[in-house]
Amino acid sequence: MATAIPPLYESDGEPSKKCRYLIVWPHKGRTIDVLHFLLSPDGPRETSFLESSDELGPIPGDHRWVIVVSIIVRRIIAIFGKPTEWTGFLIEYLLNLLAENGDLLGLVYNILRGKVVMPHRNSETFISAIGHLDGRIDLYKGGSLSGLTGGIGDGTGNRALMDLCMMTSKLAYENALVVRNIVVHHWKMHFVEFYNGWNDFEKDYSTQVFILCDKPKDASLVLISFRGTEPFDADDWSTDFDYSWFEIPELGKVHMGFLEALGLGNRAEVTTFQELLQIGEDTSNGRKQPPQSAMASDSQSDSKDDEDGVLPEMAKMTAYYAVRSRLRILLNEHKNAKFIVTGHSLGGALAILFPAVLLLHKEKEMMKRLLGVYTFGQPRVGDRQLGSFMEAHLNVPVPRYYRLVYSNDLVPRLPYDDKTFLYKHFGLCLYYNSCYVEQNVDEEPNRNYFGLRYVIPDHLNAVWELIRSMTMGYTHGPEYKEGWFSIFLRTVGLAIPGLSAHSPTDYVNSVRLGRQRVQMSSI
């Protein structure tokens, strides 16, 4: 199926390379068509569920298998999307009802007294399911937060900084009032802003990100934290299993769903990627923009992105443009500050793509002040060309990008990668096994998760993790004690080990306990 689209941009009046893309539409095509695509030699040249800028040539069998699995999984996610959302809504409400009333016995007592405390969503006391999985809010006590900007890439590292990144990645799952309360009152830092970014494909404000500084004046650190995959959000999980890509000539092939989450296009109108990824071009060319109110934040930015080449509404609406605009102001206000970008899960993918697009847009002065990118349980975001481009800019002369992976976590093994498929990890991987022993590797073991030889070891490891969860409070201290909700997820992990291993609990533990066992050599 061939679809022609115009060049991404022009240089000296000459057209650039042709833009290429592949979109996998899971809801299009009959089941029999999908099976025919899987079983026929090299696959049919035209399908209703694949859209490409080029004519589809022969597709290797293992490549077709991965696409079919993606379609099936995303169809299942879509079927259970609404029930899952309602279940999550109920679970979060019940968790907060118990917490507000002092657990089950307290709730029963308050019911008898007629004084039940009812939780209010989007209040500073309403905690997400992720927050109930791991209730820790205090930062690492074994190191000082002073001098946060030191230690990266010098062979020693800064564990307090790494812990701050993980804790902010976890905090990004909360609402704006919870984030502000913890940043200001518990961490004694300066809360800057919380954004709900517009995703034009999902037609929702589904990308959450917040910004903080280590202090309100003369700050040395600006930190940007993207929210990750919400446990009960079908759209987030569907994005993780998506294999659609858009090729940016200077960068390489990039996961289309992650670009959409940053607000950089809409696959239903592919030319929007061209408009929003152009270099030095004016995208205010008559294309209908979502309403200005589509970007909700706890305080409005008064900046003007005249040099951005985007409408002022766009700069306020989407995560990429809104954060870039505010970051520019902060770096001008705090002359000695550097910035860090971080995120867990889907948030990790957005965290590494944010500086990638800054590089594409020639934000050289801004990139000089990038201290580092820390991601936790991050999925793959692009191909080998993207990896080479980012390593050349982020890891030379010293590493500034660190990708942390815990044990059997499923998400870093997505999207699928093999000798014929395009998605590749890049940068330094800090891999922690289930004993929190750290190893610096290029790729985590069992990089595609579904290898048959790992089935029994993965399930045995899940049994060990369940037993460990019940003893951590005794072996490592009260702050490592896991609650009943976390233990319940470990039980689910007996059936799906990679799911429970994605919990932020193990990433916090890895950061705080890993170096006690093995001396880190590169961070």
Catalytic residues: 345, 409, 502
Query: In 3-state terms, what secondary structure has residue 93?
Result: helix
Confirm if 502 and 486 have CB atoms less than 8 A apart.
no
Closest of 292, 294, 314 to residue 305, by C-alpha: 314
- What beta strand segments (E) does 306-455 contain? 338-344, 370-376, 401-406, 428-432, 438-441
Distance CA(250)–CA(413), nearest Å, equals: 25
Identify the DSSP state of 116: P
Distance CA 142, CA 102 (A): 30
Cα separation, 487 vs 470, in Å, equals 7
Q: What are the residues whose beta carbons fall under 8 Å from the beta carbon of 409, sequence distance 6 or more?
A: 377, 498, 501, 502, 506
Residues 8 and 252 sit within 8 Å (Cβ to Cβ): no
- Whether residue 380 contacts residue 417, with contact meaning beta carbons closer than 8 Å, is answered with yes
Strand partners, 401: 373
With tokens 């991965």, the residue in question is: 66
Measuring CA to CA, which residue among 496, 416, 495 is closest to residue 71?
416
Torsion sign across C-alpha atoms 146, 150, 154, 159: positive
Q: Which among 182, 183, 196 has a CA at the least distance from the CA of 127? A: 182
**Residue with token string 């999984």:** 73
Tokens describing residue 418: 């093999």
Burial class (CB in 10 A: 0-12, 13-18, 19+), 55: exposed
**What stretch of H or E contains 197?**
strand 190-199
| Amino acid at residue number 451 | G
Distance, CA of 520 to CA of 257 (rounded, Å): 34
Q: Among candidates 6, 53, 3, 4, which has minimal Cα distance to 278?
A: 6
Q: Is the Cβ–Cβ distance between 2 and 52 less than 8 Å?
A: yes
φ and ψ at residue 164, rounded to 5 degrees: -60, -40
Query: Nearest-5° angle of CA 234, CA 237, CA 242?
Result: 120
**DSSP-derived secondary structure letter, 377:** S
